[in-house]
C-alpha cells in the first residue's frame, strides 16, 4: 500500500505527539513493506511566525494533494490577543474548510485499565464506548455575519445550517450506528433555537432511511449530564459543531484523559486526522504529553484512508497491551501508582511501536 501523508504538527505538544504517531506508522510500513511517505508542513502559530500566515499556501497545496493529513495541534498563549481571523486556530479552520470533511468522528472509548483514572466511578465508565459525530463545517464557527464592533461594544456570531448540511452528517452518523449498536442520539437545543428545530426535524426525516437504527433526541444541556451519569447508554451521538466541541472534551472524563482521544474527519476531498486535544502550552516541551490520542488517530488513518483494518486494529491492540502492562504517561496516573511505570512521551511512543511490531510479526 502506498500512502502520501502530510503532517502538520503545529504548536506546543503537537510536534511531540505527532512525532510518536508517525514513528508508529513507519513501523507498520516497515513490517508490511508498505510505502508511506510523510511531508512535514507548517500550520498555526509556527506558520504565523515563519510565514506570516497560519495556513501557508504550500501547506494547503500539499494537503490537497495528499491521501491523508495528520494534524498535531495549533495555538499558543502568545497569540491569544490576536484577531480570531489571524490566530493559529484560523489556520486549522481554514484547512478543515478547504479539505471539505464535514463529519468529525470522535470515539470516546473507556479502556478498562484506565477506569480508575476517571474521576467517575469505575462501574459507571467501564464498557463505555461512544462515537461522537461532530458536524465540523457549519454552525457558529463558520456562520456569517460575525464581528466584534469595539466602538459599539457589540459582537455577534451566527449559528447557521442548511438542511443539506444536516442531512449529509446525519446520514454518516446513521450509517456508523448501523455498523455498531444501532442507536443514534441526536443532540440539539431545539427548545430555544430555530437552527436546532430544523436540525431535529431533519435528522428525524433521515431516520426513515435507516429503519434498523433507533433514534433519540436529547437537549444539549441535559445531555452533558447524561454523558457523565450513564455513558454506557450511548452509541453514536451526532451534533452540531460547537456542541460537539464541548461534549467531546467532556467525554475525555470517561476515557481518563483528554490525551486519549483520537479523531478522523471524513466526507470531503481529503480526510483530516487530529487528536482531540490542543497544544497544551502548560506541558509543552517537557516530555509529559500523552501520545496515545495521536497514535490512536493514525490507526484511524489506516482504517478510513487505507482500508488497512488489520493494521489499524493492531495499533489499537498495542495501546491496550501497553496499558495492561502498566505503562502510563503522567496524565494517566491518578492516586495509587503501585504497579505502574510512568513514561515520557518518547518512551510511551517507543513502547507502543515495539508492541505493534510484535503483534504484526505474530499475525504475519
Ligand atoms: P488543551 O487541550 O491544549 O489542554 C487542556 C488540558 O489538557 C491541559 O491541562 C493540558 O495539559 C491537558 N492535555 C491536553 N492534551 C494532553 C496530552 N496529550 N497529554 C497530557 N495532557 C494533555 O486545551 P486548552 O488548554 O484549552 O487550549 C490550549 C491551546 O490549544 C489553545 O490555543 C487552543 O485554541 C488550542 N487547541 C487546539 C486544538 C487543535 O489544534 N486541534 C484543539 C484544542 C485546543
Ligand atoms: C478542537 C479545537 C478546535 C475547535 C479549535 C482549536 C479551533 O478545540 O478541534 O476541538 O474548536 O474545533
Ligand atoms: Mn475542542
Q: What is the CATH number of the domain that holds 114?
A: 3.40.718.10
114 and 241 fall within a common domain: yes
Mean pLDDT of 193-205: 98
Mean pLDDT of 75-102: 97
- φ, ψ of residue 334 to 5 degrees: the values are -135, 120
Residue where one domain finishes, among candidates 224, 246, 261:
261
Nearest CA to ligand 1 atom 36: 278
Burial 295-313 (b: 16+ CB within 10 A, else e): bbbbbbbbbbbbebeebbe
| 300 domain residue, yes or no | yes
273 and 162 fall within a common domain: no
Q: How many domains does the chain have?
A: 2
DSSP 235: S
Residue where one domain finishes, among candidates 261, 295, 323:
261
| 124 domain residue, yes or no | yes
Residue 254 pLDDT > 90 = yes
314 and 193 fall within a common domain: no
DSSP assignment of 106-159: EEEE--GGGGGGSSS-HHHHTT-EEEEEEE-SSGGGT-S--EEETTTTEEE---
Provide the residue range defining the domain that includes 333. 1-100+268-364
Report pLDDT for 54: 98
Report pLDDT for 159: 98
CB 3 within 8 A of CB 22: no
Mean pLDDT of 45-60: 98
298 and 253 fall within a common domain: no
253 and 314 fall within a common domain: no
Find the ligand nearest to 242 CA: 2
| 135 domain residue, yes or no | yes
Secondary structure (3-state) at 208: coil
342 and 274 fall within a common domain: yes
| CA 92 to ligand 2: nearest atom | 7
Report pLDDT for 335: 83
Residue 265 pLDDT > 90 = yes
Q: What percent of the chain has pLDDT over 70?
A: 100
Place of cell 478510513: 304
Residue 178 pLDDT > 90 = yes
234 and 118 fall within a common domain: yes
* 128-142, 231-245, 331-345: the lowest-pLDDT one: 331-345
62 and 8 fall within a common domain: yes
Report pLDDT for 105: 98
81 and 142 fall within a common domain: no
90 and 192 fall within a common domain: no
Q: How many CB atoms lie within 10 A of CB 8?
A: 30
| Catalytic residue ranges | 141, 189, 221, 245, 249
Task: Name the residue of 134, 249, 278 whose CB sits within 8 Å of the most ligand 1 atoms, as the mutation to test its pocket.
Answer: 278
Task: Name the residue of 15, 258, 263 whose CB sits within 8 Å of the most ligand 1 atoms, as the mutation to test its pocket.
Answer: 258
Distance from the CA of 250 to the center of ligand 1, in angstroms?
A: 13
| 357 domain residue, yes or no | yes
How far is Cα 47 from Cα 50, in angstroms, rounded to an integer? 5
CB 332 within 8 A of CB 345: no
| 105 domain residue, yes or no | no
Alpha helices in 1-77 (DSSP H): 14-32, 45-51, 57-64
How far is Cα 74 from Cα 9, in angstroms, rounded to an integer? 8
Report pLDDT for 301: 98
116 and 92 fall within a common domain: no
Distance from the CA of 78 to the center of ligand 1, in angstroms?
A: 15
Mean pLDDT of 271-287: 98
34 and 145 fall within a common domain: no
Residue 336 pLDDT > 90 = no
Residue 247 pLDDT > 90 = yes
Report pLDDT for 61: 98
| 218 domain residue, yes or no | yes
Amino acid at each position: 500500500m502506498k500512502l502520501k501523508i502530510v503532517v502538520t504538527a503545529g504548536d506546543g505538544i503537537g510536534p511531540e505527539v505527532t512525532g510518536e504517531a508517525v514513528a508508529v506508522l513507519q513501523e507498520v510500513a516497515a513490517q508490511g513493506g508498505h510505502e508511506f511517505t510523510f511531508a512535514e508542513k507548517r500550520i498555526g502559530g509556527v506558520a504565523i511566525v515563519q510565514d506570516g500566515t497560519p495556513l501557508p499556501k504550500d501547506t494547503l497545496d500539499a494537503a490537497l494533494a495528499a491521501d491523508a493529513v495528520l494534524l498535531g495541534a495549533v495555538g499558543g498563549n502568545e497569540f491569544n490577543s490576536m484577531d480570531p481571523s489571524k490566530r493559529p486556530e484560523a489556520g486549522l479552520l481554514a484547512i478543515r474548510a478547504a479539505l471539505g470533511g464535514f463529519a468529525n468522528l470522535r470515539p470516546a472509548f473507556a479502556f478498562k485499565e484506565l477506569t480508575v483514572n476517571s474521576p467517575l466511578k469505575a462501574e459507571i465508565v467501564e464498557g463505555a464506548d461512544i462515537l461522537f459525530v461532530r458536524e465540523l463545517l457549519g454552525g457558529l464557527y463558520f456562520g456569517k455575519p460575525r464581528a466584534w464592533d469595539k466602538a459599539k461594544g457589540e459582537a455577534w456570531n451566527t449559528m447557521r445550517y442548511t438542511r443539506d448540511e444536516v442531512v449529509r452528517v446525519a446520514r454518516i452518523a446513521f450509517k456508523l450506528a448501523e455498523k455498531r449498536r444501532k442507536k443514534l442520539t441526536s443532540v440539539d437545543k431545539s427548545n430555544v433555537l430555530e437552527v436546532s428545530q430544523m436540525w431535529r426535524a431533519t435528522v428525524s426525516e433521515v431516520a426513515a432511511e435507516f429503519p434498523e437504527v433507533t433514534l433519540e433526541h436529547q437537549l444539549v444541556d441535559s445531555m452533558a449530564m447524561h454523558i457523565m451519569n450513564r455513558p454506557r447508554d450511548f452509541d453514536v451521538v451526532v451534533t452540531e459543531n460547537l456542541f460537539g466541541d464541548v461534549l467531546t472534551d467532556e467525554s475525555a472524563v470517561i476515557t481518563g484523559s483528554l490525551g486519549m482521544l483520537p479523531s478522523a474527519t471524513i466526507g470531503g476531498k481529503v480526510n483530516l486526522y487530529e487528536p482531540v486535544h490542543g497544544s497544551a502550552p502548560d506541558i509543552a516541551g517537557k516530555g509529559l504529553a500523552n501520545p496515545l490520542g495521536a497514535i490512536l488517530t493514525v490507526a484511524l488513518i489506516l482504517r478510513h484512508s487505507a482500508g488497512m483494518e488489520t493494521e489499524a486494529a493492531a495499533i489499537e491492540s498495542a495501546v491496550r497491551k501497553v496499558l495492561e502492562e502498566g505503562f502510563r504517561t503522567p496524565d494517566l496516573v491518578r492516586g495509587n501508582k503501585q504497579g505502574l511505570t510512568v513514561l515520557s512521551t518518547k518512551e510511551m511512543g517507543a513502547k507502543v511501536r515495539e508492541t505493534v511490531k510484535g503483534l504484526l510479526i505474530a499475525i504475519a
